[in-house]
Amino acid sequence: MKPQQIDGFSDYVNGSVTVALAEDVGPGDLTAELVPAGQLAQAKVLAREDCIVCGRPWFDEVFRQLDATITVDWHLDEGERIEAGHSICTVSGLARSVLTGERTALNFLQLLSATATTARKYIDAVAGTRATILDTRKTIPGLRLAQKYAVQTGGAQNHRLGLYDAVLIKENHIAAGGGICKTLETALKLANHVLVEIEVETLDQARESLEAGAHRLLLDNFSNDDLAAAVQLRDDIAPTITLEASGGITLANIRTIAETGVDFISIGALTKDLQAIDLSMQFDIQAD
């Protein structure tokens, strides 16, 4: 399910913006009071680097909460690519309100555009292979659904949203649960129609997990040769089980990883190693 299709997503956007404005504006914007109360302004948001634009719902909500008379005229759709130097949108209304919302609105747009842009780079890198790019739970606390939304906007797909919608058995679960077979057996009984995935570190563990009936194997830090061997092992033992590669994946090596035949590649860098897209808001003060 897409994050924006989850019940309460609009409330989530509203709540995210409410928190962001509270920490930035607090009881009031002292500097904006230097501007005459009735002064009108129009401001353009410009991209200073090529990017995939993402974050319109949060940007709009910032100004909706501050001043419902402000209008935002978008020059492109969510998820579209824009080149450096081009205008993303125009914000019009009372100068005080536009100034107060500028930083918070841009923060959302810069962060989420960075996530979407990074996702698109990885998508482009594996084009023509069978691999699907996934995100992880390595997200900014409080902004998980926002970043998951941005990942999809960039063309990649979401892994589980949280601990509640899939089972991912890792090394410590295996140790505490009595081994691969016993832990998988318990998980498959309790899973109730959700994905049951297990992280493995060797081909022997992969074989054991395939034979135990896991839905998906997470191949952690496998070499390309071992990834290819795991694909062959899967094809021989249980062709319907999917394989996911993770660990140490970059734009420089992802193509060769995808070419081993794995079904999924999960990348924490989509949401945790981000440099915000460089955007700016340029004002044009209007005469009374």
Q: Is 103 among the catalytic positions?
A: yes
Active-site residue, 220 included: yes
Q: CA–CA separation, 80 vs 153, rounded Å?
A: 9
Q: How far apart are CA 60 and CA 190, in angstroms?
A: 42
- Catalytic annotation, pick one of 44, 137, 138, 272: 138
Q: Does the active-site annotation cover 236?
A: no
Q: What is the DSSP string of 221-252?
A: T--HHHHHHHHHHHHHH-TTSEEEEESS--TT
Kindly name the residue from 24, 67, 185, 220 that is annotated as catalytic.
220
Q: Does residue 70 contact residue 42 with C-beta atoms inside 8 Å?
A: no
3-class DSSP assignment, residue 264: strand
Q: How far apart are CA 81 and CA 283, in angstroms?
A: 23
Structure tokens at 162: 């949280």
Q: Which of 102, 135, 197, 199 is catalytic?
A: 199
Catalytic residue among 48, 81, 130, 170: 170
Query: What is d(CA 91, CA 150) in angstroms, rounded to the nearest whole number?
Result: 22
Contact (Cβ atoms closer than 8 angstroms) between residue 32 and residue 99: yes
Instruction: Tokens 């999960």: give the residue.
Output: 266
Q: Strand ranges (DSSP E) for 29-183?
A: 40-47, 51-52, 71-74, 81-82, 87-94, 132-134, 167-169
The size of the chain, in residues, is 288
* Cα dihedral value 240, 219, 228, 180, nearest 10: -60
Residue tagged active-site, from 48, 103, 130, 182: 103
Active site residue 189: no
216 catalytic residue (yes or no)? no
Q: Give CA–CA dist 258/255, Å, rounded.
A: 5
Interstrand relation of 87-94 and 81-82 (parallel, antiparallel or unpaired): unpaired
**Which residues on adjacent β-strands are paired with residue 89?**
45, 74
Catalytic residues: 103, 138, 170, 199, 220
